[in-house]
Structure 1
Amino acid sequence: MLSTPPSLPTKTDLAIIGAGPHTLTLVTHLLQKRQNMRGKILVFDKGGKWMNHWQHQFAALEIPHLRSPAVHHPDPNPFALRKFAESRNSEFFPPYDLPGTQLFEDFCNDYHYCMNIPKITVVAGLAGAGKTTWITQQIACSDNTTSNILYFSPGTGNVPIDQTRIKSEYPTVKVFGDGQEVEFLNQLSTADAVYIELGFYLELNAITPILDNLSYRAIAQGAAPYRNIAILPPHLQDSEYHTWAEEIKPGAAIDISITPTQL
């Protein structure tokens, strides 16, 4: 959903009024069952963005958590919110593990983002912040059994921990590491989504040449250039990642007093 669409088509297959959690649920379930509906749905809301009225109402009434347990959310997978909150278990309220308001809002924001995800997404952040976890959540948003998804993590050498996790959880995702750059680039044209995970040990500008190359390729293929996402602990408010990233996603509340060595 765009807050200020440049123009509206003269017709659409499906128009929905209101962009609250129920519409988000409807759209995500529909797109899971009918991938060919992507780009054929228009959602209208006077607030101009997803969940706008819901956010204002919850804030005005100072509601700390939802009344429904954690399995009730827009994702067709009932355990998706649990997976999203792997590092935020304290935001579930007893006695029935009711999701906190901010947790649910962050989950929904993340979910409607992944419905409109750009072709190439570059993810960076501190060690242990949850970069790979965030990527797996985005992969889960898609029909990963039929989509052509690429994952590339440079600089891992002989310790491909994150690549191994991606392969294990999503066997259909094509995973690339050091020494496979050419194969990775050659498959860009047929990919539906591409994720590049930058380890904490890399200087953000060290990967610029390959990212620029990817950007040119994406534009040539009619797709948007790459998008930078940083996964950071909630208490970190000022860092090089804040300058680099187009969007900051809350990650695990790790100890930032330990500064790893970058390459």
Structure 2
Amino acid sequence: MADRLKNKVAIVTGATSGMGLRTAQLYAAEGATVVLSGRRADLGEQAAAQIGHGASFVRCDVTDEADVRALIEGTAERHGRLDVLFSNAGGPAALGRVQDIDLADLDAAYNVLLRSVFACTKYAAPIMRAQQAGSIINNGSVAGYRAGFSSSMVYSLFKGAVVHFTKLAALELGEDFVRVNSISPGPIATDIFAKFAGMDDAASEGTAEKVKDRLAKATPIPRAGLVDDVAWAAVYLASDESGYINAQDILVDGGMIWGRRFSESDAGRQAMHEFLRG
């Protein structure tokens, strides 16, 4: 065990699988007391038991304000403080053209992807302000930067709002030494791709491995992103090593957001030259 997060108390939402689970594991390995949360109590209890090091699980539906309040205030009461909040919970959103999207589906995605992040920050803020210390980390996405990086415009819309909300909150809470940053993953091999395809939680388990080869073709670094790539970024933002980092979004995307691979653009150049000479 290392001690980058020694004596810190951390909450991770959406911690029963994927990026959230791996982050909770690393937080504990780095010395933090971790509270995992999610909707699936069986998986959460099992994960907390496997992590050990004082880890616990609290069932929380992040779309329910009462659940969020109980999670955050209960953690602070039980452990005497709250140092880190990783608002990671999320999920797929409605697909289709704007004219075809049901507004009820829009509202449901808003509740999961954006409102929950606001709610978590709302209840963590007074605790961290009173401590004059804390790190809030929100899970954004490269899809929040550019159209076409998600199959769902709704998902892109709310992830873009998460990144902007992070900056707004950071400039407010920073005055009380509470840092707010976000992480925007690119093509990370998780089961969210299966969920976008309409598969339920059970059916989507294990699909992350299947998409790795396809994702490896999307970025300048020719491999799929891994949950560890995001989790280690979350460790850095939770630690005192990032004590002067505030209002930032860390892109964990292998560089894909900045354009095509050199080999692809070079092949296009050569093809154009051959065409013109031709």
Q: Normalising by structure 2, what TM-score?
A: 0.38
Q: Normalising by structure 1, what TM-score?
A: 0.39
Per residue, is there more helix in 1 or in 2?
Answer: 2
